[in-house]
C-alpha cells in the first residue's frame, strides 16, 4: 500500500467495547485496529457474534447501552469522533457517515412516505429549501434505480418490495453525500436474486459519490466481488486484514483458512467441505492467548499463553504466532 | 374510503338494532310500571287507562315497531317516575355528562401522553419513578375514594373548590354549558380530575410501554444513524407510531367514561346522566333505563367509528388499497 501524507478516512485504534453485566464485564470487541482509505471498500467478515456489527455501531456512535467503548480511539479524516458530545456526533451521522442496515422491511418508518423521510434527512443536514430537497430526493430515487421516482416519492414503505426498500435505504444513507458508508449486512434479508443487484448498486453509487464503504457481512462471495480489502474478525478480535485476493486465495490465519475452506466451490463438486471443529467461544469463555487456539489445527504452546498482535505478512497483517517466527528470522537476516 | 365508511355505518345500524331490541325487552320483563306510578290506591279503571296511554296493551311486535319509530324521532316515552318525556330529561342532563367526560378526557390526554413520553424516554430518571409509583395509586384506588379525598382536601380543608353540583351555567343555543365561566370551571375541576385519574394513568403507562417498544425498532435506529434531531425522532417518528394503540384505548375509555361516570356524578352530586340513570334504576323507571342503554350504545358506536377513521388517518398501511389504486 502506498503511504499517503493525508490521514486515512477512518482510523480505528485499539478499539475495545465492553458490556458490564451482573456477572462481570464482557469484552465484545478487544483491541481492534484498522483503517479505511478514501473511496476504499473494506469488507468485514466473521461469524455471528464476532463483533462486526458492534464495531460498525461504535464508529457512528450508536452502541446500545450498556455497551460502551472502554478503550481506543476512532478518527474520521484525522478528527477524533469516539468521544464527541451528543450534538457533535449527531451532525457526523448522516452527513459524514451513512449507515445501511440489514433489514429493509423494518428500516423505514411505516407511517411516513419515503419522500418525507428523505427530505427530512436532507434538510436536517443542509440549508436546502423544501422544494429543492424534494427535487434532490427525486433525483436520488432515480439514481438508486427506482422507476418513476416522481410518483414513488409520495408512497409509503409498505408499497415498495424488499429490494426497492433497500434501494430507498441506500438513497437515505447517501442523501447528504457522506464520506463513509457503514453497510451492516445490507443483503442478508434479501432474495438471492436481488442481492447481487443491491451490492452492485451500493458499490457503483459509493464510487460515484466518492464514499468509502465498510461492508459488514458473512457472505464471502459478496466480499470477493466488492471489497478492496478484508478484515476477518473472530471472538471480538481481528484475525487477519489484507487485500481481498490475498486473503481469499492465500489465507494466512488458520481461522481464515478454515473459513475459506467452508465455502462450497463449483469446481470441486465432489469434495467434502473443510469444516472448523467446535464453535466460537462465548464472550465469558474466551481462552487465554489466541482466542482461536482450542480450535486451531496448528496451535502450539505459545498460542495458549500469549496473545498475538497483528503481524505484517506479505501484504496482509495476521494475528498468529505462526508468522512471528518467520518475522524474527527475516528480521535477523536484515 | 367511502366504501369503508358505508360498511362501518351498516355495522353500526345492526348494532343499534340489537341494542334497541334488548332495551325494548326491558319493558316486557322488568316489573309492572303501572303499580309504581299509581301506587296501591289506584283503581282498576285508572290502571287500565294508564296502560292504554303507555301503549302497554298492544301486541309485543307492534310495541317494538312503535318503540323504534318513536326512538328515531327522538321520543323515548314518558318517565314513569317524573311523568315527563324522557328526551326532555336527557336533554337536561346530557350536557352535564358530556362536558364532564370531555374535560376529563382532555385532562387524561394532555397530561397522560406527555407523562408517558417522558417516562418512556427517561426510563431511569427519578421523576419517571415518581410518576410510575404515583400512577399505581391512580390505578388501584377506586374512584369514589379519590373523589371523597379530594372533597376533603380541596373542598373542606382548603376551601378552594365547591364540593358539589354544577354552577355558572350559561345557555348557549339550547346547550347548557358551564365551561364559559370561572365558576363553572371551579365546579367541574374536581369531578373531572377524579374521573380522569384512572384514564390518565392508563394512557401514561400505555404510551410509555409503546414508546419503549418503538424506540427499539430498526427505523428509529436508522433515523438516529441519519443524524436526525432528537426532537424529530422522539416526537415525530416514535410518538406517531405509538398512536394507534393509544387511539384504540382512548376510544374505548371515552365510551366507558360516558357510561360509568355514574360513581363520580354521585360523589359530587353532578346533575348528569349517571345520576338520572341511578335514580331510574331505584324506581324501575324503564323508559329512562332503556333510553340510557340506547344512548350509550349510540355513543360507543359513534366513538368506534371515529376511532376507525383516525386509524385511517394515522396509518397509511390501512389505506393502502386507496393510495395504491391512485398510483396506477
| Cβ-defined contact of A98 to B225 (cutoff 8 Å) | yes
Query: B122 at the A interface (CB within 8 A)?
Result: no
What pLDDT is attached to residue A253? 87
Give which of B225, B234, B325 to mutate to test A binding, by max A Cβ within 10 Å: B225
CB contact at 8 A, B73 and B65: no
Q: What is the pLDDT of residue B244?
A: 82
Q: What is the mean pLDDT of residues A205-233?
A: 89
Closest residue of A to B325, CA-based? Answer: A159
Taking CB atoms and an 8 Å limit, are A98 and B230 in contact across chains?
A: no
Best B213, B215, B219, B317 member to test A by mutation, with max A CBs in 10 Å, is B219
List, for residues B143-177, the tens digit of each pLDDT value. Answer: 888 888 888 888 788 878 777 777 777 777 767 77
For residue B317, the chain A residues in CB contact (below 8 A) are 110, 156, 158
Question: Is A65 within 8 Å of chain B by CB?
Answer: no
Q: A318 has which bridge partners?
A: A240, A311
In a domain, A143, yes or no: no
Q: Is residue A131 part of a domain?
A: no
Question: Which domains occur in chain B, in start order?
Answer: 87-270 (1.10.3720.10)
Band of residue A334 on the pLDDT scale cut at 50, 70, 90: very low
Output b/e per residue, A15-45; b: 16+ Cβ within 10 A.
Answer: bbbbbeeeeeebbbbbbbbbbbbebbbbbbb
In total, the C-beta contacts within 8 angstroms joining chain A to chain B are 83
> What is the structure's pLDDT at A325?
65
pLDDT tops 80 at residue B260: no
Which position has the higher pLDDT, B183 or B29? B183
Which of B224, B226, B241 has its CB closest to that of A111? Answer: B241
| Residue A9 DSSP code | S
Nearest chain A Cα distance for residue B305, angstroms: 21
Q: What is the pLDDT of residue A268?
A: 60
CB contacts of A91 in chain B (<8 Å) are: 227
Of B226, B314, B324, the CB nearest to A111: B314
| A155-196 pLDDT, tens digit each | 999 999 888 999 999 999 999 989 999 999 888 888 888 888
Domain for residue A123, yes or no? no
Query: Which contacts of A19-27 are long-range, i.e. CB under 8 A and separated by 24 or more positions?
Result: A19/A66, A19/A67, A19/A68, A19/A283, A20/A66, A20/A68, A21/A66, A23/A284, A24/A284, A26/A283, A26/A284, A27/A236, A27/A283, A27/A286
Flag whether the ipTM exceeds 0.90. no
Q: Which residue, among B214, B216, B221, B223, would best test binding to A if mutated, counting the most A CBs under 10 Å from its CB?
A: B223
Residue A141 lies in a domain: no
Which of A124-133, B246-255, B273-282 is the most confident on average?
A: A124-133
- What number of H helices and E strands is found in chain B? 15, 2
Flag whether A267 is in a domain.
Answer: yes
**Are A90 and B227 in contact (CB < 8 Å)?**
yes
Q: What is the pLDDT of residues A32-67, one digit of tens each?
A: 999 999 889 999 998 888 889 999 999 999 888 888
Range of the domain at A72: 10-106+179-191+211-333
Residues A73-119 pLDDT 10s = 999 988 999 889 989 999 999 899 999 988 888 999 999 999 999 99
* Interval B218-240 mean pLDDT: 90
Residues A116-142, mean pLDDT to the nearest whole number: 93
Contacts of B237 in chain A (CB under 8 A): 109, 112
Which residues in chain A have Cβ-Cβ distances shorter than 8 Å to B240? Answer: 111
Check which CATH number belongs to the domain holding A44 and give it.
Answer: 3.40.50.300
Q: Kindly report the backbone phi and psi dihedral angles of residue A90, in degrees, each rounded to the nearest multiple of 5, phi listed first.
A: -60, -40
Task: Provide the domain count of chain A.
Answer: 1
* Nearest Cα to Cα of residue B265 among B60, B104, B58, B141: B104
pLDDT over 50 at B125, yes or no: yes
Nearest CA in chain B to A62: B225
Amino acid at each position: 500500500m502506498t503511504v499517503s501524507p493525508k490521514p486515512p478516512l477512518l482510523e480505528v485504534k485499539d478499539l475495545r467495547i465492553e458490556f458490564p453485566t451482573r456477572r462481570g464485564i464482557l469484552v465484545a470487541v478487544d483491541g481492534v485496529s484498522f483503517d479505511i482509505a478514501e473511496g476504499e471498500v473494506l469488507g468485514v467478515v466473521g461469524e455471528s457474534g464476532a463483533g462486526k456489527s458492534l464495531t460498525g455501531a461504535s464508529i457512528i456512535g450508536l452502541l446500545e447501552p450498556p455497551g460502551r467503548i472502554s478503550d481506543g480511539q476512532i478518527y474520521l479524516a484525522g478528527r477524533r469522533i469516539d468521544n464527541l458530545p451528543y450534538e457533535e456526533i449527531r451532525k457526523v451521522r448522516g452527513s459524514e457517515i451513512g449507515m445501511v442496515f440489514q433489514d429493509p422491511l423494518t428500516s423505514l418508518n411505516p407511517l411516513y412516505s419515503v419522500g418525507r423521510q428523505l427530505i427530512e434527512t436532507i434538510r436536517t443536514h443542509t440549508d436546502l429549501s423544501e422544494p429543492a430537497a424534494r427535487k434532490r430526493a427525486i433525483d436520488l430515487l432515480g439514481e438508486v434505480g427506482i422507476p418513476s421516482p416522481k410518483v414513488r416519492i409520495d408512497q409509503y414503505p409498505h408499497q415498495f418490495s424488499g429490494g426497492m426498500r433497500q434501494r430507498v435505504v441506500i438513497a437515505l444513507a447517501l442523501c447528504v453525500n457522506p464520506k463513509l458508508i457503514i453497510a451492516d449486512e445490507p443483503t442478508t434479508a434479501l432474495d438471492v436474486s436481488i442481492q447481487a443487484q443491491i451490492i452492485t448498486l451500493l458499490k457503483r453509487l459509493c464510487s460515484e459519490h466518492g464514499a468509502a464503504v465498510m461492508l459488514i457481512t458473512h457472505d464471502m462471495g459478496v466480499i470477493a466481488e466488492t471489497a478492496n480489502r478484508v478484515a476477518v474478525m473472530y471472538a471480538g478480535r481481528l484475525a487477519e486484514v489484507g487485500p481481498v485476493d490475498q486473503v481469499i486465495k492465500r489465507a494466512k490465519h488458520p481461522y481464515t483458512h478454515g473459513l475459506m475452506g467452508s465455502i462450497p466451490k463449483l469446481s470441486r463438486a465432489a469434495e467434502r467441505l473443510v469444516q472448523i471443529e467446535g464453535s466460537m467461544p462465548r464472550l465469558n469463555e474466551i481462552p487465554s492467548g489466541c482466542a482461536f487456539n482450542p480450535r486451531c489445527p496448528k496451535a502450539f504452546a505459545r498460542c495458549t499463553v500469549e496473545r498475538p498482535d497483528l503481524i505484517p505478512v506479505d501484504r496482509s497483517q495476521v494475528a498468529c504466532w505462526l508468522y512471528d517466527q518467520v518475522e524474527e528470522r527475516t528480521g535477523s537476516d536484515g | 374510503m367511502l366504501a369503508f365508511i358505508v360498511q362501518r355505518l351498516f355495522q353500526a345500524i345492526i348494532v343499534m338494532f340489537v341494542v334497541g331490541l334488548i332495551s325494548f325487552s326491558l319493558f316486557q320483563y322488568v316489573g309492572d310500571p303501572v303499580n309504581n306510578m299509581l301506587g296501591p290506591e289506584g283503581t282498576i279503571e285508572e290502571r287500565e287507562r294508564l296502560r292504554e296511554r303507555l301503549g302497554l296493551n298492544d301486541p309485543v311486535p307492534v310495541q317494538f315497531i312503535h318503540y323504534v319509530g318513536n326512538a328515531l324521532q327522538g321520543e323515548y316515552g314518558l318517565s314513569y317516575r317524573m311523568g315527563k318525556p324522557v328526551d326532555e330529561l336527557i336533554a337536561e342532563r346530557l350536557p352535564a355528562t358530556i362536558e364532564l367526560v370531555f374535560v376529563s378526557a382532555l385532562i387524561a390526554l394532555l397530561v397522560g401522553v406527555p407523562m408517558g413520553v417522558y417516562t418512556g424516554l427517561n426510563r431511569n430518571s427519578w421523576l419517571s419513578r415518581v410518576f410510575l409509583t404515583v400512577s399505581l395509586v391512580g390505578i388501584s384506588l377506586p374512584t369514589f375514594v379519590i373523589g371523597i379525598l379530594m372533597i376533603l382536601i380541596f373542598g373542606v380543608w382548603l376551601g378552594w373548590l365547591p364540593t358539589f353540583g354544577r354552577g355558572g351555567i350559561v345557555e348557549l343555543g339550547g346547550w347548557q354549558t358551564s365551561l364559559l365561566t370561572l365558576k363553572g370551571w371551579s365546579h367541574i375541576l374536581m369531578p373531572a380530575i377524579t374521573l380522569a385519574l384512572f384514564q390518565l394513568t392508563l394512557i401514561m403507562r400505555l404510551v410509555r410501554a409503546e414508546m419503549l417498544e418503538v424506540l427499539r425498532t430498526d427505523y428509529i435506529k436508522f433515523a438516529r444513524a441519519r443524524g436526525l434531531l432528537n426532537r424529530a425522532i422522539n416526537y415525530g417518528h416514535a410518538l406517531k407510531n405509538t398512536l394507534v394503540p393509544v387511539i384504540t384505548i382512548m376510544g374505548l375509555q371515552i365510551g366507558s367514561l360516558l357510561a360509568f361516570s355514574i360513581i363520580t356524578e354521585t360523589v359530587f352530586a353532578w346533575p348528569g346522566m349517571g345520576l338520572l340513570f341511578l335514580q331510574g334504576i331505584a324506581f324501575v323507571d324503564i323508559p329512562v333505563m332503556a333510553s340510557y342503554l340506547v344512548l350509550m350504545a349510540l355513543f360507543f358506536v359513534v366513538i368506534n367509528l371515529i376511532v376507525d377513521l383516525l386509524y385511517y388517518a394515522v396509518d397509511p398501511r390501512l389505506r393502502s388499497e386507496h393510495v395504491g389504486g391512485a398510483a396506477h
